[in-house]
Amino acid sequence: MPPQKRMTIHDHAAESSLFKRRALFTFVCVIALISVLLANLYHLQIKRFSDYSTRSNENRIRVVPVAPSRGLIYDRHGQLLAENRPFYSLQVLPEKTKNLDDSLLKLKTVIDLSDEEIELFKESLKYHRRFKQLALKSRLTPEQVAEFTVNQHRFPGIFIEAGLKRYYPHSDALTHVLGYVGKINQKDQAQLEQNEQWINYAATRDIGKQGIEKYYESLLHGIPGHLEEEVNNRGRTIRTLASTPPEPGQDIYLTLDLELQKKAIELLAGRRGSVVAIDPRDGGILALVSSPSYDPNQFVHGISGKSYSALLNNTSRPLINRATQGQYAPASTIKPLMALAGLEGNVVEERTRIWDPGFWQIPNVDHKYRDWYRWGHGWVDVHDAIIHSCDTYFYELAYKLGITKISTFMEPFGFGENSGIDIFEEVSGNLPSKDWKRLKYNQSWWRGDTVNIGIGQGYWTATPIQLAKATSIIANRGNRFVPHLLKSIKDETTKIDSPIDELPPIVLKNQHNWEIVNDSMFRTANKIRFKNSPYKVAMKTGTAQVVSIAQDEKYDAKNISEKYRDNALIVAYAPYEAPTIVLAIVIENAGWGGENAGPVAKSLLDEYLLRPNLEAQP
């Protein structure tokens, strides 16, 4: 009997229900996905339209920063001290140069490219961003520009750029005042980024490194502009869409008198030393000379390692600004101030006399402090002590005052602190005290230390700018001004004078003491040096020991190495009745102050006071 077939019974209702559920689920998923798609389309094309439109424009529009021209620097009479000159440089964009080493080798056959320039470029490249261009060679000649232009197709990523570079027409005459500009290095970049100023230097490769250039960088630099260029997908410029011109830096006028500055350099004649001239009426610097100097133009385009090493290792230290960083024993130039301290402290009176046998001794001590005049000056009062620079008088005066009273009295005259001049390169010198010696050497202050301070020797050191400032206060009978170099600022439309920073005056217990000291300085000047001068002068010379001389030895410059000979100093002001110029001069290792620094002071005063008046230009 054949097997019977199995019968399948379909449940149409169940299958229909299952199909409907699956269809509904699929429909819901499709709707959900379409909703997500529509939501994304809405987000991208409506809500984020501006954002993505801007991104698209950034790919199509390139913003190119344009460097501003640097402000010019003039002296008080409108003579140009720092300008901008056109130049051509060879620039490299590292990311667009496939084989840089090979390109550099080929370049040597096209233009005069030295091995030193290549090494300097490679060293700078280590700290440089590859998408920013870097100068390979500056100051190309017209012949080099023409030669490279013909061969430029062989060097992708290398091109010639025209621009303006700083130039100092007076070379080394103003280096320590103006300073110089140089290439922005890694340290400069970090400082700009920290101060959130990097955006202002996007098109600038130079920045002030020293002097006025650095101190007034914010005024001189200017504000960059920009170009909006439309580019294709290869980065080529199609057209310029818009431009914003840069705002040039502001021109500044200094208080300097260029002719007086040049005269001071001429008179120093390459000797190590410094000249500072101040207008006591407002504290304006008329001359600020440090000798020897160097040409700042070599730093503008990048100084070679060999040239910089030569400057750095020069025994005359031309890189140091002796006017503000040179620390010297003030010697006898501070005797008028010591006399003023004694008069104010009631230690001496105008007619108090002491006997000078040529030496002085601390009571019950055998050591003799010698006077420069070995036979002594006999009976001397305060006038005689200043006029004849009697050491013995000031030994005793300092001993009676004590170091605490001396240092306290000298502080308002600017010793032991920065003068406030508007350049960063300055030191404070040293106004010694008991606490200073304890902190410095962990030693007690001895009476002999005070005696040496009385004649401006020992631990006391001062800079020429401090000596000029202190002498200005004497000439002004206590009125004080902060020394400054900036006279006025000029932009495209206006010229604004810089405010004068006047300090509270020094008021003495007895104002007549000013006249005593000034009269003594006047009589000192007119005794010999300025006896027949057409104008009246007050002055005080100084001869500062560089090394100590033993008790039983005699100073003989001929038998002493030049670097150990005495420094020559002088402070002076004129005209005596209404001073318009104060001088402080230091000539290192020159010997006697009156004989060596005195003629320099006289020539400078003649140059300033006897020439025709020059009116400052607008």
pLDDT digits (tens, 9 = 90+) for 238-262: 777 778 888 899 999 999 999 999 9
- 168, 174 in Cβ contact below 8 A? yes
Q: Which residue has the higher pLDDT, 299 or 103?
A: 299
Higher pLDDT, 464 or 66: 464
Q: How far apart are CA 318 and CA 210, in angstroms?
A: 14
Q: 527 phi and psi, to 5 degrees? A: -70, -45
Phi, psi of 120 (to 5 degrees): -65, -40
Cis preceding-peptide flag for 292 (omega within 30 of 0) = yes
393 compared with 39, residue with greater pLDDT: 393
Q: Which residues are annotated as a binding site for Zn(2+)?
A: 356, 371, 377, 390
Domains present along the chain, CATH in parentheses: 63-254 (3.90.1310.10), 259-307+321-609 (3.40.710.10)
Q: What's the number of CA atoms in the CB half-sphere (13 Å) around residue 171?
A: 7
- In 493-597 the beta strands, taken as DSSP E runs, fall at 495-497, 502-503, 538-544, 567-574, 581-587
Q: What region, left, alpha or beta, does residue 414 occupy, with left being phi > 0 and alpha being psi -120 to 50 degrees?
A: left
What are the helix and strand counts (H, E) for the chain? Answer: 23, 23
pLDDT over 60 (residue 472): yes
Backbone angles phi, psi at 99, to 5 degrees: -125, 90
**CA angle at 14 for the pair 11 and 17, rounded to the nearest 5°:** 145
**pLDDT value for 398:** 97
Residue 493 DSSP symbol: S
- pLDDT over 90 percentage in the chain: 56
Q: Is 494 helix (H, G, I), strand (E, B) or coil?
A: coil
- Helix, coil or strand: residue 574: strand
Q: How many CB atoms lie within 10 A of CB 156?
A: 13
- The pLDDT value recorded for residue 615 is 47
Residue 6: is its pLDDT beyond 80?
no
Contact 267, 606 (CB under 8 A): no
- Ranked by mean pLDDT, which of 26-40, 277-291, 496-510, 523-537 comes out on top? 277-291
Q: How far apart are CA 600 and CA 267, in angstroms?
A: 6
Rg value, the chain, Cα: 37
Give the residue, 147 or 258, on which the prediction is more confident: 258
- The pLDDT value recorded for residue 510 is 95
The predicted-structure confidence for 543-599, as pLDDT tens digits, reads as follows 998 866 655 566 555 667 777 889 999 999 999 999 999 999 999 998 888 899 999
**What whole-number distance in Å separates Cα of residue 362 and Cα of residue 247?**
68
C-alpha–C-alpha distance, residues 362 and 402, integer Å: 13
DSSP, collapsed to helix, strand or coil, labels residue 10 as coil
Residue 132 has pLDDT above 50, yes or no: yes
Q: Which residue reads 């006017």 in tokens?
A: 323
CB 382 within 8 A of CB 323: no
Backbone torsions φ then ψ of 217, nearest 5 degrees: -55, -40
As a whole number, mean pLDDT of residues 335-356 equals 95
**DSSP 8-state secondary structure symbol assigned to residue 534:** S
CA distance 179 to 2: 121
For the residues 130-159, what does the mean pLDDT come to? 82
Instruction: Please measure the distance between the N-terminal and C-terminal CA atoms of the chain and give it in whole angstroms.
Output: 134
Locate 410 and state its tokens: 């000298």
What residues act catalytically?
A: 332
Per-residue pLDDT at 94 exceeds 70: yes
Query: How many Å apart are CA 560 and CA 453, to the nearest integer?
Result: 24
Residue 158 clears pLDDT 90, i.e. is over it = no
Looking at the chain, the whole-number percentage of residues with pLDDT higher than 70 is: 91
Task: Quickly state the pLDDT bin for 487 (edges 50, 70, 90).
Answer: very high
Q: Under a CB-based contact definition with an 8 Å cutoff, are residues 581 and 278 in contact?
A: yes
Give the Å distances, CA to CA, from 361 to 10, 119, 395, 487.
137, 65, 9, 50
Query: Most confidently modeled of 196-200, 246-250, 289-293?
Result: 289-293
Q: What is the mean pLDDT of residues 482-508?
A: 90
Q: Identify whether the C-beta of residue 384 lies closer than 8 Å to the C-beta of residue 377.
A: yes
Q: Which of 9-23, 394-408, 432-446, 459-473 has the lowest mean pLDDT?
A: 9-23
How many angstroms separate the most distant Cα atoms in the chain? Answer: 167
- At 616, is the pLDDT very low, low, confident or very high (cuts 50, 70, 90)? very low
Find all residues with CB under 8 Å of 148, minimum gap 6, and list them: 90, 110, 111, 140, 155, 160
477 contact partners, CB below 8 Å, separation of at least 6: 511, 514, 518
User: pTM to 2 decimals?
Assistant: 0.83
Per-residue pLDDT of 297-331, as tens digits, reads: 999 988 878 888 999 999 999 999 999 999 999 99
pLDDT at 543: 93
DSSP assigned state of 504: P
Which segments of 222-318 does DSSP mark as H helices, in order? 258-268, 297-300, 305-312
Q: In b/e form, how buried is each residue of 446-460, taking b as 16+ CB within 10 angstroms?
A: eeebbbbbbbbbbbb
| Phi and psi at residue 544, to the nearest 5° | -100, 125
Give the pLDDT of residue 171.
Answer: 92
Q: Which residues pair with 186 in a beta bridge?
A: none
* Separation of alpha carbons 593 and 567, rounded Å: 7
Question: And the tokens for 233?
Answer: 């997908």
Phi/psi of residue 599, nearest 5 degrees:
-60, -35
Cβ 46 vs Cβ 38: under 8 Å: no
Mean pLDDT of the chain: 88
**Which residue type occupies 457?**
Q
Q: Look up residue 223 and give its two tokens.
A: 């504000």
Neighbours of 328 (CB within 10 A): 25
